[in-house]
Amino acid sequence: MRLVVVGGSDAGIEAARHAVEVDHGIEARVLVADAYPNFSICGIPYHISGEVPDWRRLAHRGVPELEAEGLRLALDHRVTAVDVAARTVAFEAPTGPGELNYDRLVLATGADPQRPPISGLDSLGPADGVHVLHSMGDTFGVTEDLRARNPRSAVIVGAGYIGMEMAEALTTRGLEVTVVEQLPQVLPRTLDPALAMDVEEALAANQVALQTGTAVERIERDGDGLRVETTAAEFRTDLVLVVTGVVPNTTLAAAAGATLGAADSIVVDERMRTNLPDVYAAGDCVHTHHRLLASPTYLPLGTTAHKQGRIAGANAAGRADRFAGTLGTQVVKVFDRVVAATGLRDEDARAAGYQPRTVAARADDHKAYYPGATTLRARITGDARTGRLLGAQLVGRLGAEVAKRIDIFATAIHHEMTVEELADLDLSYTPPLGSPWDAIQIMAFTWVRTHVPPGTGS
């Protein structure tokens, strides 16, 4: 059986690898549009900062390793069309056009950088000092610009995860950084405003200028630099980085007849099947089944892409596995702060038909008498009718085990626990690392006290 996978990275490579694991007799061909089949896009900011000096270290696996696992890689092969009736894919390769037959097909075409409607953006590029950041090619464009022109200042458009990571990366490189965000706060899709303020304080403490509630209207050349016009101010800078999110890359799938859904992503079922016969899809090009939502959503994450790719590969090889769904669990480091979230925030939970109650809580990351204790701040969302845990947001200092603790919340939500049931978890304790009641349990008690009046029971 010939399996063809269009796209590498997380979902595509995972699909091909797992298909071969399930059935050693499968011929798995992977067509990748560039020369970087299995690189960590999430690691790009740390290469640009210099913390990971060699870009090759970003590779999850090299070409020899993937080929040793039984994959047949075709690099720099851009697929141009899928003929579902003939079961063929057409491609452009360095040697010219070609065509390949398939028995089963996995589409893992990923996402493209979102390009906001900024005047001048479409006519400017890396040669002008204007960059997007999504691929290894984009990475090399930024690093070469930093090397060749030695810019002293940068404006980052967008204050999401990548915007925050790149603010730190470019500051580490010695640039004066300004972040411009159209919405009123940083990390607007992750944190409530009260917690976002902690991140904004970290930016200010590291001399990153921040302009929220501000839209960029125009970028243009200005002598040997760039001029950025916004609704609030005008900046002259040496480098502009636009990181305002991604959109699913579904042109190929749509032309082949695939049904599109949320944010024009590919509609798949829980087995990662599209509406096309023997065609699966996974990763940032597909919609996502969320464990707390009745309808799929678009929520591109590397962890989700890995899981979906594994399911698509297994089922293309003849199994009937199901994707268990996501909670959108995320974590990001911003200088000395760590931000994490999982599940639903209050407004999303209400829109989904829950009766949410969100409570602010705080607790020390370990026993206060042991040196170095810091405060974790949280927002806990539970359903007022059932007490079910729906979501959590955490902000704490680096070293405060924020990632570990959000993972506990995610596990509890996955298994439909109530907020009060967090107290029953048998969590580890030693004074340098925690408390007899862990920080998340203390936070849960805060929610329970506000939800259940004293003396009324639970």
Helix (H, G, I), strand (E, B) or coil at 13: helix
Residues 6+ apart with CB under 8 A from 438: 405, 408, 425, 427, 429
DSSP 265: P
Closest by CA to 219, choosing from 305, 115, 320, is 115
Rg, Å, the chain Cα set: 23
Continuous H helices in 33-113: 44-48, 63-68
- Residue 412 is predicted with a pLDDT of 98
Closest CA to 397 of 336, 341, 443: 336
Distance CA 359, CA 419 (A): 11
pLDDT for the residue 452: 61
Residue 43: how many other CB atoms lie within 10 Å = 18
Residue 6's alpha-carbon distances to 13, 38, 80, 109, in angstroms, are: 10, 13, 10, 6
Domains in the chain with CATH codes: 2-112+247-316 (3.50.50.60), 121-244 (3.50.50.60), 336-451 (3.30.390.30)
For residue 450, what pLDDT is reported? 87
Specify the 3-state DSSP secondary structure of 277.
Answer: coil
Instruction: Look at residue 388 and give its three-state secondary structure.
Output: strand
Instruction: Tell me if 156 sits within 8 A of 178, measured CB to CB.
Output: yes
Q: CA–CA separation, 409 vs 413, rounded Å?
A: 6
The Cα 395–Cα 197 span in angstroms is 10
Instruction: Give the end-to-end CA distance of the chain in Å, rounded to a whole number.
Output: 57
Cα dist from 429 to 3, 97, 343, 405, whole Å: 48, 61, 26, 13
Interior angle at CA 370, CA 369 and CA 374, nearest 5: 90
Q: Which residue has the tokens 């010219």?
A: 96
CA distance 294 to 292: 7
Which one-letter DSSP state was computed for residue 39? B
Contact 390/342 with Cβ under 8 angstroms?
A: no
Euclidean distance between CA atoms 51 and 161, whole angstroms: 18
**Burial bucket for residue 128 (CB in 10 Å: 0-12, 13-18, 19+):** middle
Question: Residue 79's closest CA among 48, 63, 102?
Answer: 102
d(CA 395, CA 406): 10
Query: What is the chain's pLDDT, residue by residue, as a tens digit (458 residues)?
Result: 999 999 998 999 999 999 999 999 999 999 999 999 999 999 999 999 999 999 999 999 999 999 999 999 999 999 999 999 999 999 999 999 999 999 999 999 999 999 999 999 999 999 999 999 999 999 999 999 999 999 999 999 999 999 999 999 999 999 999 999 999 999 999 999 999 999 999 999 999 999 999 999 999 999 999 999 999 999 999 999 999 999 999 999 999 999 999 999 999 999 999 999 999 999 999 999 999 999 999 999 999 999 999 999 999 999 999 999 999 999 999 999 999 999 999 999 999 999 999 999 999 999 999 999 999 999 999 999 999 999 999 999 999 999 999 999 999 999 999 999 999 999 999 999 999 999 999 999 999 998 765 554 44
- The tokens 């010695």 sit on which residue? 174
Query: Rounded to an integer, what distance in angstroms lies between the CA atom of residue 418 and that of residue 105?
Result: 41
Cβ contacts of 194 within 8 Å, gap of 6 or more: 360, 379
Q: How far apart, in whole angstroms, are the C-alpha atoms of residue 357 and residue 386?
A: 11
The per-residue pLDDT for 311 is: 98
105: tokens are 């097909």
Count of H-run helices and E-run strands, the chain: 11, 23
Burial class (CB in 10 A: 0-12, 13-18, 19+), 308: buried
